[in-house]
């Protein structure tokens, strides 16, 4: 039967029952019971009521054989839907619990400290994350409201804390700046301030004013004390500045007076005439204590004075020439006074040292002693039996003074040190030993056999040590083949200036150029040379300029250049790029007039006047304006090259004047420009 026919029959039956009821009577008819649920319906109900996926699956499995294929597919889909629903409900539960826990962790009841604010911010971050994670919770508005309220409370509290922090920092900044100012002001009182102290005080005032301006969170009342302090600092700083200015002016006035006195002294000391009058300086060549020293003669007939190198004074090299300062003080006699000189030398590399026991010829040692038989390069030869050699004895067969002696047990400043045997000499020693020492740069051991005094003495001398003449001294090298100290170059050319300041009377200034050793090993045949050559190097000397209230005096350094014309046998030169004693440049130059270049290398005489055999003149230019020729200059070309015949080095002295306001004297040293 078709389903529509069933529907019509059911409808007719229902109408008949309705009409029967309306027709009266007291009897009623019980409606038929609904049909029992099908297996499909019971399984579907059970699946939708299942609390676990397993229960849902079991509900299907129980009716699997009682349902159609279509109903089976529908029940399986229902299982999937129920499983998904159960998972969603589980997530909702977890997310709901997380939301509640995160909400409970947010506490904004006390946000009085930064630590509490930071803790609240951490809890807020947790609640925000819980809200973001609650994707299965339908409504999170309540939690969002809690979050928003907490954020507002924390931000407000943070603002208050930040303000309080800034206030504290600003007050500390004011206090620190105030302390620095008070310290700086205290340093200004009691004595003449320095420029650094004034700078510190002004910087402290500036720092305090900056701290006041930076106190934006402070009240005017809180800053008032510091504002007054900054304003009140002006008076003591101004007072200190005036004291400083007065002191500077006084110091400048004193310096001006001293410069005026020096300018006047050097004006007289240099003089306006040519160099000469017995003034001279040269390297001492005679053997003995003065060998190699600068010998200064201040005037005709004066006894020469030997100057020692001042090892504490640093003189910068000049165009590769080694600089040194030399001094002497004479207490009494006609030479009494102080001597100062600066010298520049083209010293070459030292000669490499030979082996200690090389057998080379022995040099004459400091002190003037003579070498004993068998003494070799280092001062002695080793004894084959004792492996030692005598370096000083009472018999006089070796020098008792040596500059090559070194031992940490010897005296190092001045005086005498005595070495003795141990008390009562219990071991019967006959020799005193000094290990950890050196002689001529070779490590080893000194021994001393005492004389009648039963002791050995070492006395600090001008050059090294003086050994006890009553004892026998020996040295045992640690390695007989060790190299001795290299021998310094003893063949070189020098130039420089010297100043003599007597105990009474006028000072004397002059310049010098000299050589040591065998620099000129061959005759310079100028007449046989052709072409020209240029020589460049440095110059140094003393100067004075007195132009009204302006005084300038001291020593100078400069560049020097010679131009030699071998065709007409003349030479000219220029001294320029002057640097004064204050280290500042001077707008000067000195022209060295054309002079005869004689055979042999001497520079002297006017090439245009055969009767003039004296030094040629100089011309001093100052500030672009040249003075008339005057003064003098002379020199020598030296150190001929054996193959070319051309001199390699030139030295000389010069004197120049500028009207009645300027005088200078100096010397130069130049090398051939290849």
The Cα–Cα gap between 369 and 401 comes to 8
What is the strand order of the sheet 405-406 is part of? Answer: 389-392, 472-477, 442-449, 432-439, 405-406
* Amino acid 408: pLDDT: 79
* Cα separations in angstroms, 148 against 14, 96, 119, 444: 64, 18, 16, 90
Helix (H, G, I), strand (E, B) or coil at 480: coil
Q: Which of 342-356, 376-390, 660-674 has the highest mean pLDDT?
A: 660-674
Give the model's confidence band at 612: pLDDT under 50 very low, under 70 low, under 90 confident, else very high: low
- The rounded radius of gyration (Å) of the Cα atoms in the chain is 55
Q: Taking Cα atoms as reference points, which of 270, 253, 258, 256 lies closest to residue 661?
A: 270
* Phi/psi at 394 (5° precision): -65, -20
Strand 280-283 and strand 492-502: the pairing is unpaired
Sign (positive or negative) of CA dihedral 147, 152, 153, 158: positive
Q: What mean pLDDT is predicted for residues 454-483?
A: 74
The Cα–Cα gap between 655 and 631 comes to 5
Contact 119, 127 (CB under 8 A): no
Q: What mean pLDDT is predicted for residues 68-89?
A: 91
Q: Where are the alpha helices (DSSP H) in 316-397?
A: none
The DSSP element (H or E) to which 432 belongs, if any, is strand 432-439
* Amino acid 521: pLDDT: 62
The Cα–Cα gap between 130 and 134 comes to 6
Q: Taking Cα atoms as reference points, which of 323, 319, 339, 368 lies closest to residue 537?
A: 319
- Of the chain, the percentage scoring pLDDT greater than 70 comes to 84
Residues 6+ apart with CB under 8 A from 603: 571, 595, 596, 597, 616, 633, 634, 635, 636, 637, 650, 652
User: pLDDT tens digit string along 314-350?
Assistant: 999 999 999 999 999 999 888 899 999 999 999 887 7
Q: How many CA atoms lie within 13 A of 56 on its CB side?
A: 21
* Amino acid 518: pLDDT: 79
* Amino acid 392: pLDDT: 52
Task: Say yes or no to pLDDT of 485 above 70.
Answer: no
User: pLDDT tens digit string along 53-74?
Assistant: 999 899 889 888 898 989 889 9
Q: What mean pLDDT is predicted for residues 192-217?
A: 94
Least confident of 147-156, 299-308, 374-383: 374-383
DSSP secondary structure, 264-318, as one string? HHHHHHH-SS-S-TT-EEEE--SSSTTTTSEEEE-STTPPPEEEEE-TT-----B
* Amino acid 259: pLDDT: 92
- Of the chain, the percentage scoring pLDDT greater than 90 comes to 51
Helix (H, G, I), strand (E, B) or coil at 133: helix
Give the model's confidence band at 101: pLDDT under 50 very low, under 70 low, under 90 confident, else very high: very high
């Amino acid at each position: 039967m078709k389903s529509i026919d069933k529907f019509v029959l059911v409808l007719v039956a229902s109408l008949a029952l309705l009409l029967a009821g309306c027709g009266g009577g007291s009897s009623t008819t019980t409606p038929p019971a609904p049909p029992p649920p099908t297996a499909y319906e019971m399984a579907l109900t059970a699946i939708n009521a299942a609390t676990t996926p397993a229960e849902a699956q079991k509900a299907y499995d129980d009716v699997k054989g009682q349902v159609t294929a279509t109903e089976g597919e529908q029940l399986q889909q229902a299982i999937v839907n129920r499983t998904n629903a159960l998972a969603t409900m589980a997530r909702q539960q977890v997310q709901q619990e997380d939301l509640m826990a995160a909400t409970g962790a947010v506490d904004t009841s006390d946000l009085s400290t930064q630590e509490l604010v930071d803790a609240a911010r951490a809890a807020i971050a947790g609640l925000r994350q819980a809200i973001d994670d609650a994707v299965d919770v339908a409504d999170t508005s309540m939690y969002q409201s809690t979050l928003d309220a907490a954020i507002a409370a924390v931000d407000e509290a943070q603002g208050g804390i930040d303000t309080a922090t800034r206030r504290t920092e600003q007050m500390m900044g004011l206090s620190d700046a105030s302390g620095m100012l008070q310290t700086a002001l205290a340093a200004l009182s009691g004595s003449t301030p320095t420029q650094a102290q004034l700078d510190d005080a002004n910087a402290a005032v500036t720092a305090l004013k900056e701290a006041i301006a930076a106190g934006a969170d402070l009240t005017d009342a809180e800053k008032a004390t510091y504002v007054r302090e900054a304003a009140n600092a002006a008076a003591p700083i101004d007072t200190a500045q005036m004291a400083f200015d007065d002191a500077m002016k006084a110091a400048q006035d004193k310096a001006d007076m001293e410069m005026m006195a020096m300018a006047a002294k050097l004006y007289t000391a240099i003089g306006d005439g040519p160099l000469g009058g017995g003034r001279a300086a040269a390297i001492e060549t005679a053997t003995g204590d003065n060998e190699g020293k600068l010998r200064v003669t201040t005037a005709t007939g004066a006894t020469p004075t030997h100057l020692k190198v001042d090892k504490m004074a640093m003189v910068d090299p000049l165009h590769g020439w080694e600089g040194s300062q030399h001094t002497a003080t004479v207490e009494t006699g006609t030479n009494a006074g102080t001597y100062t000189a600066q010298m520049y030398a083209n010293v070459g590399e030292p000669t490499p040292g030979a082996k200690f026991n090389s057998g080379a010829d022995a040099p004459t040692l400091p002190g003037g002693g003579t070498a004993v038989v068998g003494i070799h390069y280092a001062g002695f030869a080793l004894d084959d039996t004792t492996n030692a050699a005598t370096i000083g004895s009472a018999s006089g067969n070796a020098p008792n003074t040596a500059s090559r002696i070194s031992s940490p047990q010897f005296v190092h400043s001045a005086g005498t040190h005595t070495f003795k045997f141990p008390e009562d000499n219990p071991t019967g020693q006959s020799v005193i030993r000094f290990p950890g020492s050196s002689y001529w740069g070779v490590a080893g051991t000194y021994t001393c056999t005492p004389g009648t005094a039963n002791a050995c003495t070492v006395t600090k001398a001008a050059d090294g040590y003086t050994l006890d003449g009553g004892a026998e001294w020996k040295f045992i090298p640690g390695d007989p083949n060790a190299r001795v100290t290299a021998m310094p170059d003893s063949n070189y050319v020098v130039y420089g200036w010297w100043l003599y300041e007597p105990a009474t009377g006028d000072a004397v200034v002059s310049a010098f150029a000299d050589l040591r050793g065998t620099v000129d090993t061959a005759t310079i045949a100028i007449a046989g040379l052709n072409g020209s050559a240029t020589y460049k190097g440095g110059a140094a000397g003393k100067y004075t300029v007195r132009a009204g209230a302006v005084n300038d005096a001291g020593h100078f350094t400069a560049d020097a250049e010679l131009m030699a014309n071998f065709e007409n046998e003349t030479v000219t030169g220029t001294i320029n790029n002057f640097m004064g004693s204050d280290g500042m440049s001077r707008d000067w130059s000195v022209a060295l007039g054309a002079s005869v270049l004689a055979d042999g290398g001497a520079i002297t005489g006017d090439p245009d006047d055969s009767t003039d055999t004296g030094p040629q003149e100089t011309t001093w230019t100052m500030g672009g304006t040249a003075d008339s020729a005057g003064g003098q200059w002379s020199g020598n070309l030296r150190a001929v090259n054996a193959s070319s015949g051309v001199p390699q080095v030139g030295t000389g002295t010069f004197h120049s004047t500028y009207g009645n306001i300027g005088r200078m004297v100096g010397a130069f040293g130049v090398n051939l420009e290849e």
